[in-house]
Structure 1
Amino acid sequence: MPQPAPAPAPAPDSLRKRTVVGWNDTALQAIRAQRPSAPMAARSLAIAHTAMYDAWAAYDPSALGTRYRAALRRQAGEHTAQHKSVAISFAAYAALVDQFPAQKAMFDARMAALGLDLARATRDAARPEGIGTIAAAGVVADCHHDGANQLGDLSPSRVPYADYTGYSPRNPAMLVMASTPRSAILDPGRWQPLTYRNASGALVTPGFAAACWPRVAPFALRTANQFRPGAPAAFGSPEYAEQARHLLDVQQALTEKQKVVTEYWAGGATGELPACYWCQFAQFISERDGYGDDQDVKLFFALANANFDAGIAAWDAKVFYDSARPITALRYLMSGKQIIGYGPEGPPGGLQPIDGSAWMPYQAATLPTPPFADHVSGHSTFSAASAEVLSLFTGSDKFGHAVKVAAGAMLYEPGLPSEDVTLQWATFSDAAAEAGISRLYGGIHFANADTAGQALGRKVGAEVFERARRHWTGSA
């Protein structure tokens, strides 16, 4: 029979009652500081929240951990809010230090604010500090061998997360600041790397980010291609030409609100990523519905893993189809034709007559298009998966959330919007739909990449939620 655990030092009540939310917020701060690519951020959140869930499960009469199942379960007398809070915090701390070692000082400060002594970290399963440490160690050990190449040991370069699959683009890099002759686009239906000046003024040519992601072991999906959507429109087909014309028409008619929508979901000044937005939305739901750690740990466990698997499923399609982004397609199709669009300066230069070979999306010139293929939209897949989980967890699609974008706060076109704009979403589905359409407004995805991503995300979200639910009900 397990021995009773020594009582841990109590955390301040105001922090202990919202332990999971507090660590989620800390994880989001670490992501903003490090700015990883979207699938890496989703994976890190899933690792942290899975470690927290596994630590919590030891103090629940039914829940099964993902690694140790019921092996860490403590006796009923220890199933207290204090024990749960301490175990969750030690698990979160260990997982986040592994994911973001450069942000360790931030995590140390969080533990100090909770009144927790890092010197008490232990592998003693009789203590909540030990439960948290062991739970995180199990999750971290697996993630180091999940195919993401976090340690860099799978690639000759030894660079963390570097591609090891041998992916090579079919097209040479496009110099974004100049017109692109058709001769510089060898395969107009395939992805093309871009050369541009980043926010630091350096000339960069990013490779296909996370090209290895289809090989990452998912949480609930059986395989990365379990729900792979159909192919995008083929280059040269009427459908392909129509989607290009549609995108051009949409961009020429953007309203101020649509521009705000575009920049908001693109991350704004902080570079917020899709999984991060939805974890913030979950914090709102937690507050709205009066959740404590028992509800929060399950909510974020399901949500974070839905985003993790959504990234794997979306990148499977991106790598498999290797489809061209609009900047490649439009510059090829509209070459030699005068169109109305944004030139080399991007949005600050305003709409103007240009040769189609110089067309620019409605994005910052320092990141004209994310460095990976079009089909499917990651924003759409992440957001639809998140909306599905939040609807299933709360029992309703009702959201009721809003954010205000202040007049003059835009980065793409300084001085806009001309007045405050409020983005509001009655339902989770509304928010997911807006996240997806924002990428069409921005000129970085075709419409079919959004609709296919939305359908894919819904399937992934439902699959992950059911797997997570079986864990916390003890039926996994």
Structure 2
Amino acid sequence: MRVQRQLRILLRTFALGAAAALVLPVSAQAAGAQAVPAQATAGPSVVVRWNQALLAAVRAGTLGPPMVARALAVVHTCAYDAWAAYDPVAVGTRLGGSLRRPEAERTDANRAAAISYAAHMAAVDLYPAQRAGFDALMAELGYDPADTSSQAARTGLAACGAVLDHRHADGSNQAGGYADTSGYAPVNAPMAVADPLTSVTDPGRWQPLTYVNRAGAVVTPPFLAPHWGGVASFSGQARQLADAVPAPAAYGTSAFRAQAAEIVAVTAALTDRHKAIAEYWADGPASETPPGHWSLFAQQVSARDRHGLAEDVKMFFALANAVMDAGIAAWEVKRDHDTARPITAIRFLYRGQQIPTWGGRTIDGATWTPYQPSWFPTPPFAEYVSGHSTFSAAAAEVLRRFTGSDSFGGQVVIARGSSLVEPGVTPAQDVTLRWYTFTQAADEAGVSRRYGGIHFRAGDLEGRALGRSVGAAAWQRAAAYWTGRG
């Protein structure tokens, strides 16, 4: 009875506070999440075109969020280093100013060609199965990947070759399919999501899940890339910043019980807006993933602010590397603490008890599931800290600094009945999500994982703090390169 009373109090508290917290101001510049603002008249730069091509490969591929973040960083670092050879001040990340071309060659045509040859080389290296799409973009832009006779082509390939040499030895194990090199093994046996939880070795530690995926196969995904905290970061500070993150609530403490009770209450009180937020930001399989989501926002910024080639090169360079470092830092924390997801903690703590859950149901706590599609109930890696929160806060920090303002003005309409969790039912009416600022969008991405039952409050908030620190460090490093301070 005491548990039921605590849950009812939490439910009331959440229902009263959440509505006010989600009143999002409307910007005069608000545009559809993937729409081009009306004031943009020129087409996208070659940098944006390569970003779009890489995101298409991401959607068609199977790489997880930290690998996608690294892929974006590699492509945009190659593009930046190629561009830097045609700038009078900027230096490349690997070869410094040694590739600098004479002033007579510093034309937009040469810059675009060098960038394209570099981006193509990197993209094919990262997504070889998608080469046809990358070759098609080269042809559309007027280049032949097989013809490397021009000085611009040679410059782009030299710049990218040095970046790839570095990244092939960065600890990611790209050559081995990004397979774990740390020897990690979970302490808990897998949980069959369709069955009630009866026992678990350590309720505070991460547990693999067994479920039927979207293709109809029974799967038990292992911990994704537990070695990722050892990948070389762009700023050189990712691991140091990760080590400063405080420890999460431990099993057996009142804080551990309280965070589980809060997620039970939060997911039982979900409105259509909360559900729309949870699903919009989910970025699961066959999507851009969380790192790619912020590339879409950067594309909007490029169109909104009428970027030229130099602005796009710098923005995507800083953004992608900040997001890569966010993945490295977040995964370092995840591996260090190896914490249980809400599905394990809640099922263990509330087994045999009747608790409220989403959809207006009352269930045995041992069968609780997050507000997620059954074919992807929870991502396969530890809870603390939230990758969504870290990626998004780092990205927002860079976009805020690059544009000189936190103003964003984006929006998206979630269509009636479009839910993957409750198809045809939720939301009952169209729901519009609006973000006046980059920070607001990042914060919503973070809280979305609590609405979805994927993360606890501390995992979200500490992830946001980590992301801001990582973003600031990456920004400073990127700016040093393009101002010639390397």
Normalised to the residue count of structure 1, the TM-score between the two structures is 0.91
**Partner in structure 1 of residue 224 of structure 2:** 209
Q: Give unpaired runs (5+ residues) of structure 1.
A: 1-12, 153-159, 343-349
Q: Is the 2:90–2:483 contact (alpha carbons within 8 Å) kept by the matching residues of 1?
A: yes
**Partner in structure 1 of residue 136 of structure 2:** 109
SS at 2:175 equivalent? coil
Distance 1:67 1:221 in 2: 14
How far residue 215 of structure 1 moved from its aligned partner, in angstroms, is 1.0
Distance 1:222 1:426 in 2: 30
Spell out the pairing of 1:404-423 with structure 2 (5 A cutoff): 404-415=413-424, 416-423=426-433
Q: Is the 2:238–2:470 contact (alpha carbons within 8 Å) kept by the matching residues of 1?
A: no
How far residue 31 of structure 1 moved from its aligned partner, in angstroms, is 0.2
**Partner in structure 2 of residue 430 of structure 1:** 440
Distance 1:213 1:322 in 2: 13
RMSD (CA atoms): 1.4
How far residue 226 of structure 1 moved from its aligned partner, in angstroms, is 2.9
Q: Is the 1:269–1:411 contact (alpha carbons within 8 Å) kept by the matching residues of 2?
A: no
**Partner in structure 1 of residue 99 of structure 2:** 72
Distance 1:118 1:370 in 2: 37
Q: Is the 1:324–1:374 contact (alpha carbons within 8 Å) kept by the matching residues of 2?
A: yes
1:190 and 2:205 are equivalent in the alignment: yes
Q: Is the 1:380–1:435 contact (alpha carbons within 8 Å) kept by the matching residues of 2?
A: yes
Correspondence for 2:175 among 117, 130, 151: 151
Spell out the pairing of 1:273-292 with structure 2 (5 A cutoff): 273-292=289-308
- Ranked by relative contact order (alpha carbons within 8 Å, sequence separation 6 or more), the top structure is 2
Q: Deviations over 1:331-367 (max 9, x none)?
A: 110011111226xxxxxxx342211111100001111
**Partner in structure 1 of residue 378 of structure 2:** 369
Distance 1:26 1:291 in 2: 19
1:177 and 2:177 are equivalent in the alignment: no
SS at 1:402 equivalent? strand
Correspondence for 2:159 among 119, 131, 135: 135
Spell out the pairing of 1:332-371 with structure 2 (5 A cutoff): 332-341=348-357, 350-371=359-380
What letter is aligned with 1:252? A
SS at 1:404 equivalent? strand
**Partner in structure 2 of residue 394 of structure 1:** 403
Q: Deviations over 1:443-473 (max 9, x none)?
A: 0100100000000000000000000000000
**Partner in structure 1 of residue 90 of structure 2:** 63
Spell out the pairing of 1:448-459 with structure 2 (5 A cutoff): 448-459=458-469
Spell out the pairing of 1:228-377 with structure 2 (5 A cutoff): 228=243, 229-267=245-283, 270-341=286-357, 350-377=359-386
| Overall identity of the aligned pairs, in % | 52
What letter is aligned with 1:337? Q
Q: Is the 2:62–2:285 contact (alpha carbons within 8 Å) kept by the matching residues of 1?
A: no
Q: Is the 1:225–1:316 contact (alpha carbons within 8 Å) kept by the matching residues of 2?
A: no
What letter is aligned with 2:196? S
1:165 and 2:182 are equivalent in the alignment: yes
Q: Is the 1:39–1:308 contact (alpha carbons within 8 Å) kept by the matching residues of 2?
A: yes
How far residue 258 of structure 1 moved from its aligned partner, in angstroms, is 0.7
Distance 2:322 2:474 in 1: 6
Q: Deviations over 1:256-295 (max 9, x none)?
A: 0110110010027842311111111001001111101110
Range with greater deviation from structure 2 (58-67 or 419-428): 419-428
Correspondence for 2:237 among 222, 231, 239: 222
SS at 1:399 equivalent? strand
Distance 1:267 1:308 in 2: 16
SS at 2:462 equivalent? helix
What letter is aligned with 2:197? T
Q: Give unpaired runs (5+ residues) of structure 2.
A: 1-40
**Partner in structure 2 of residue 157 of structure 1:** none
How far residue 227 of structure 1 moved from its aligned partner, in angstroms, is 3.6
Cα 1:268–1:186 shift into 2, 3 Å: closer
**Partner in structure 2 of residue 4 of structure 1:** none
Q: Deviations over 1:358-411 (max 9, x none)?
A: 110000111110000010000000000000000111111110111112222221
Q: Is the 1:227–1:459 contact (alpha carbons within 8 Å) kept by the matching residues of 2?
A: no
Q: Is the 2:238–2:328 contact (alpha carbons within 8 Å) kept by the matching residues of 1?
A: no
Q: Deviations over 1:292-350 (max 9, x none)?
A: 111000000000000000000000000000011000100110011111226xxxxxxx3
SS at 2:413 equivalent? strand
SS at 1:112 equivalent? helix
SS at 1:403 equivalent? strand
How far residue 14 of structure 1 moved from its aligned partner, in angstroms, is 6.8
